[in-house]
Structure 1
Amino acid sequence: MTEKPSLHLLIAAPRGFCAGVDRAILIVDRTLEKYGAPVYVRHEIVHNRYVVDELKAKGAVFVETLDDVPDGAPVVFSAHGVPKAVPAKAEARGLTWLDATCPLVSKVHRQAERLVEAGRHIIFVGHAGHPEVIGTFGQVPPGAMTLVETVDDVLQLEPADTDALAFLTQTTLSVDDTAEIVEALRARFPGIVAPRGEDICYATSNRQAAVKAITARAEAIFVIGSPNSSNSLRLAEVAERGNVPARLIGRAEEIDFDWLGSPKVVGITAGASAPEILVREVVAKLATRFTITEEEVRTATESMIFKLPRALTENA
């Protein structure tokens, strides 16, 4: 019997679920407990197929619009946030609704409202079409915000009043890319008002820092997450920027051993919506081809916990 080659795994920490994702999943679970199945969820509660399938098995029904929610059924809004028109429509229909928007996204929503009330036009740094961007734009009147995705977009801006600008950012962006865009904004518009504190969430920043720590030693990196997960995509980009080949995979079965080859050291991390069970699954799959040793590389410890909506804690 041929002896398996050795492979040392550098497992990034923090990785996987953040407090906002924990809260969102718990909201769906508690809503199912309180009201019984089915519970409708507008958009994927978080961007992870495994999580969505687990909740479907418990009785959650995922829809893209409130028009697909029957009268009288409870509905949960996803962690990415929704435009103001969505809860307003739910109220008008008399639906029981619960908001699983991450509190850090909600903070950006409130900042947007305050800035527009103060007469400022907002330059929003984000990715077109992402649910978080759609939700944030939906907090303010049409035309009150302009989206930029790159430094080139910043250079093309022609605002009506350069003295009344502010900027905000999507919470799941690349820290490095965003810093470059913000630098370009400040250079073009020195009076632009910055957000109160960092918009990119602590979990996104921490996971990117952990990936940077393992790129110094890894020959390849697996990022566990869904292709529609912004923060997971950014983790793969951070690895590539560190000149380490990276692959975004949803499950262990997606490991391409031909691509991987015969490395001695491989890094593993997971996006903020990927559960730890998927990390263990990937390690187990690698162990079918290699003799594994594991090392956790920790760059931060997270203790954040977000409260559940009052409707789920009353009389609990």
Structure 2
Amino acid sequence: MHEPVKLYSDQTQLANRYQDLPSNKSSLKFFYENARSIRKPGKFDELQCVLKAISSTVHVIIITETWLRSEQHAKLHCLPNYTHIYNYRNDSRGGGVSIYIHNSITFETSEEVYKDGNHYVWVYLPKYALHIGAIYKPGSTSVRAFLDIFSMQLESRKSSLVFGDFNPDLLVTDIDVKRSQTKQRIQYEAVDYENLHKGINDATYTNEENKYDYLENFINTHITDSKIYKTKIMNLPRDDWINKEIIDMINRRNLLWQQIKADKRNEALKNKFIVERNKVGKRISADKSKYYYNEFMKCSNSPKKMWNLINTLAANKIKTTCAPPKIISDSQVITDGTK
């Protein structure tokens, strides 16, 4: 029978000293650190000092960015009474993840992968029916390639606890990430009024008996001849954080800007515009932060939904450059931003 795992996400206890950390003898204890090289002189010694200072046994230690580059490095960085499971890279500087399992804990190494510059190590604790993941994704690697592997890993494990350094750059569109939604294009009929006007003027119209049906047919014929097909691009649904209050504030700000353009010397109007502009920026930032905070909280117990949300954020960028396509001066092309 598996022992239940209790995770308390709503209770955070801080301590100024490691020895003052609360201890519960019946709980499974974890220690996580993003080390940025345990090979650096004094770093691994400091880790051992920290573990010594903690009053109770730490059962699982997870380290990201170990900067190990060989089996020899891994052997030199073992901890007494712990088994060292690791994944390193030797094709470039940095990276690497390690999991140290205390000898009192039975475990199985279920997966150890280095692919596309990302590190994944998974161990399974049968006694607790719990999978532990140590993940490192550098900021320079593909979000799509990372999520493809990580999502499959999460889906194949029922109960997981993940530690890692993920570095998603939400300000830059990953070249491999494509928008899940595309703007819908709708074709519709419209009247080319210039052609309609020209056609009616050029036509010979005689209706001596002033019959309405004849007039109606004459107009309908020319309208039909003047019809053209146009394509309308439907905007994507607005994000939930965009609301009527924000739109109204933007409109008020834009109205003030138009007034300033007509009265450039009006300092009171300029100050009013600055206040309104700042209000818009703060309101957008606050509402967007609140919205995504709530969205993350909704999927706090579902890693798959969590990473789908992160993936949506990472893909929510269209322009990769703000450079103009051309700058022309004196009929000469100075630069071409498309090249």
TM-score, reference length from structure 1: 0.26
The structure with more radius of gyration: 2
